[in-house]
Amino acid sequence: MIKPGKKKKDLSSRITRRALVLGGMQAAVILGLSWRMRDLQITQSNQFRLLAEENRIRDRLIRPERGLIYDRNGLALAQNQPNYRIVMIREQAGNAQQVLAELARLIYLPLEKRTGIYNEMRKRAPFVPVSVAEQLSWEDFSRVAANAPGLPGIITEVGLNRSYPMGENYSHVIGYVGPVSEADLERYDDPDPVLQIPDFQIGKTGIERRKEDILRGVAGTKRVEINAVGRVMRELGRNEGLKGADLQLTLDHDLQNYAQYRLKGESAAAVVMDVNSGDVHALASTPGFDPNEFTFGISRTYWNGLIESEYRPLADKTISGAYPPGSTVKMVTALAALEEGLIDPEEEIFCRGYIELGNRRFHCWKRGGHGNMNMTNGLKQSCDVYYYEISQRIGIDKMALMARRFGFGAKPPLPLPSISGGLTPNKQWKFDRYQEPWRIGDTLNAAIGQGFVLASPMQLAVMTARLASGRAVQPRLVRRINGVPEPLELAPSMQIKNENLDLMRLGMFQVSNETRGTAYRSRIEEPTMIMAGKTGTAQVKGITMADREAGLDETETPWKYRDHALFVGYAPYDNPRFAISVVIEHGGSGSAAAAPVARDIMLRALYGTQPPIEAYPRALWKDMREQQANEPPPNPGAPLAQSDRA
């Protein structure tokens, strides 16, 4: 039997041991927690303080202001237009539907749109701003701003949107901007973070695309404090970014505006460039499109109209169009023969309207033939047979080499997308492409700008500028960047004998200024501004023997099968300033369709304004008075940038 005292003593001993164990465990936990708290609060305090700050403070990008684009005289071609907009924050509005109804009393906001806005707000967090109206007029915007205290949750904002005040006149050259797509991001190895900003716009075509990196500018940053759910509580500071570079182009708006007007109604292109500097003064492609439609959201109807038109309004025909140049390349063919010493300029070749090669006839454009032709007469009257004969002496490889010296077969160095290099074929090219040998008939076709030969209107203008100046001038489109002139060096010599170049210039003078010249009716009468030129007519569809015998009238041929009309020229003849090329798709004869247009545009370039009637042939005075009376104003309402005037 255990004594009560002993039992009580043993129990007390066990309790004491348990208390010591529990106390030790508690002490260990407390020590561990204390050590951990010390570690967190002292040893790792800087790290956790940084993490806390990162959770509370955010750096957000500020959109940079896009650089502006001007013509050579400081006229704005692409500018940033204020975008007066209204946004709404649902949590601040209370009864959002009622606020929208009140807003509709101030601006046009139909019930259907209000319902869509409300549904959009319900999809987003209550503190996220939702766009209510964009592109408001100043009157509507100021009316809402004045009544904002009575419209809870309504916020008025002013942003910047790209605007093109000249509309279609520069749609291909300037291009347009649009939202960043996946394809845009793939163009960059390391995309600029600003491209990730919602609704940020990037250059899609034209100068806007090719000069995107300098037009975009550098984004700024602002530091904001947010709460646990991501709501912005306050702005702590900001670092403004850098505005994009302003570009001044070599284009002259008055001339560009007139060229677009003169080509109106045609699927056509015209290029005017300075023969010495290479400055491009006009780069007109018709029809065009309104780039503002793309910036602010294009309608399906407008888009379908663009892509379904057989006139291809989205294509920049001046640089991406590749056409058989026709007789406009005959100067290059002749120079290849002269430089090789293969023909005497006074040697006469008889034209009876065709030559025979095997069992095939190669026809001249004049069915009855031209009779005896020397080099200048062959150029003046554009005798095909003359060039058929001399091309057989030259051979295609030497012809191709000369063509490349004049800019054919290479892309002009311009900051524009989709530039065509054209096609300057030779024997090796045909074998590589078709696994077929080159034939003499191919050489005859190439000699008159047909067959495989292709060139853009820009390449034709470059060729003409080089003929006029004797130098390997290159086209230039950007004149200044942020007011700093782009380097301009004297182009190197073409290394072609002056007497041979002078012979070609004489032939081109006769084309435009002597009675049998193919462009005589489109001459310039002012003696100090006489133009030298060359017409061209390029077949699109082969002419069969049956067509020739039937005397087929081209006006009865479907439009898409009619010949292209071409003209190249320069002026003044004795002191060249400008070179021009005009291509009218399916326009028919170069002398009837392209030459008059080129003459009118050239006169505008030479005078810098509407030329006097006396500069035209007297027979055209009445028609030209009517045409001048219907011309559009030269500068339709665009603001001038005084600091960038030339």
Looking at residue 639, what is its pLDDT?
43
Looking at residue 572, what is its pLDDT?
98
pLDDT band for position 221 (50/70/90)? Answer: confident
Average pLDDT over residues 115-128: 81
pLDDT top residue among 607 and 126: 607
Average pLDDT over residues 508-526: 96
Looking at residue 13, what is its pLDDT?
63
pLDDT top residue among 497 and 158: 497
Looking at residue 637, what is its pLDDT?
46
Average pLDDT over residues 424-429: 96
User: Does residue 327 have an active-site annotation?
Assistant: yes
CA 540 to each of CA 198, 546, 585, 588, 605: distance values in angstroms, whole numbers, following the listed order = 48, 17, 10, 10, 31
Burial of 308 (0-12, 13-18, 19+ CB in 10 A): exposed
From the list 141, 38, 35, the residue with the least C-alpha distance to 87 is 141
3-class DSSP assignment, residue 179: strand
Looking at residue 473, what is its pLDDT?
97
Looking at residue 641, what is its pLDDT?
42
pLDDT band for position 599 (50/70/90)? Answer: very high
CA 69 to each of CA 174, 230, 283, 605: distance values in angstroms, whole numbers, following the listed order = 8, 39, 15, 22
Instruction: Give 233-276 pLDDT, tens digit per residue.
Output: 666 767 778 899 999 999 999 999 999 999 999 999 999 999 99
Is residue 613 a contact partner of residue 629, using CB atoms and an 8 Å limit?
Answer: no
pLDDT top residue among 118 and 642: 118
Is 0.95 topped by the overall pTM?
A: no
pLDDT top residue among 113 and 128: 113
Report DSSP state, residue 493.
B
Burial of 411 (0-12, 13-18, 19+ CB in 10 A): middle
Kindly report which listed range (52-56, 93-97, 221-225, 473-477) carries the lowest average pLDDT score: 52-56
Q: What percent of the chain has pLDDT over 70?
A: 87
Q: What percent of the chain has pLDDT over 90?
A: 62
pLDDT band for position 645 (50/70/90)? Answer: very low
d(CA 550, CA 392): 31
pLDDT band for position 640 (50/70/90)? Answer: very low
From the list 544, 408, 388, the residue with the least C-alpha distance to 467 is 408
pLDDT band for position 4 (50/70/90)? Answer: low
User: What are the structure tokens assigned to 332, written together?
Assistant: 């290059």
DSSP string of 307-371, one letter each residue: HH-TT-TTS-TTTT--B--GGGGHHHHHHHHHHTT---TT--EEESSEEEETTEEEE-SSTT--E
pLDDT band for position 288 (50/70/90)? Answer: very high
| Position 35 pLDDT exceeds 80 | no
pLDDT band for position 638 (50/70/90)? Answer: very low
3-class DSSP assignment, residue 520: helix
Average pLDDT over residues 334-360: 95
User: 87 pairs with which residues across the strands?
Assistant: 131, 155
d(CA 204, CA 171): 12
Average pLDDT along the chain: 87
Instruction: Give the domains, in start order, of the chain with CATH numbers.
Output: 60-249 (3.90.1310.10), 253-636 (3.40.710.10)
Q: Which residues contact 152 (CB under 8 A, 6 or more apart)?
A: 92, 93, 94, 99
Looking at residue 605, what is its pLDDT?
97
CA 601, distance to chain mean position in Å, is 22
DSSP E strands, 169-257: 177-179, 201-203, 220-226, 232-239, 247-249
Looking at residue 224, what is its pLDDT?
65
Residue where the block lists tokens 């509309």: 167
Range with top average pLDDT, 54-58, 93-97, 211-215, 216-220: 211-215
* Host H or E run for residue 50: helix 45-56
| Angle 211-416-205 from CA coordinates, rounded to 5° | 75
Looking at residue 544, what is its pLDDT?
55
| Position 188 pLDDT exceeds 90 | no
CA 201 to each of CA 31, 84, 161, 178, 206: distance values in angstroms, whole numbers, following the listed order = 59, 17, 9, 5, 15
Average pLDDT over residues 330-337: 97
Looking at residue 53, what is its pLDDT?
52
Q: Exactly one of 320, 327, 382, 522 is catalytic; which is it?
A: 327
User: What are the structure tokens assigned to 328, written together?
Assistant: 């406009």
CA 517 to each of CA 26, 109, 564: distance values in angstroms, whole numbers, following the listed order = 114, 65, 19
**Beta-sheet pairing, 69-70 with 247-249:** parallel
d(CA 471, CA 462): 10
pLDDT top residue among 35 and 607: 607
User: 82 pairs with which residues across the strands?
Assistant: 160
| Position 451 pLDDT exceeds 60 | yes
From the list 536, 513, 541, 534, the residue with the least C-alpha distance to 525 is 513
| Position 552 pLDDT exceeds 90 | no
Looking at residue 646, what is its pLDDT?
36
**Beta-sheet pairing, 532-538 with 564-571:** antiparallel
| Position 118 pLDDT exceeds 90 | no
User: What are the structure tokens assigned to 644, written together?
Assistant: 């960038």
User: 235 pairs with which residues across the strands?
Assistant: 224
pLDDT band for position 155 (50/70/90)? Answer: confident
| Position 135 pLDDT exceeds 60 | yes
| Position 505 pLDDT exceeds 80 | yes
| Angle 586-591-595 from CA coordinates, rounded to 5° | 90
d(CA 465, CA 532): 12
CA 319, distance to chain mean position in Å, is 10
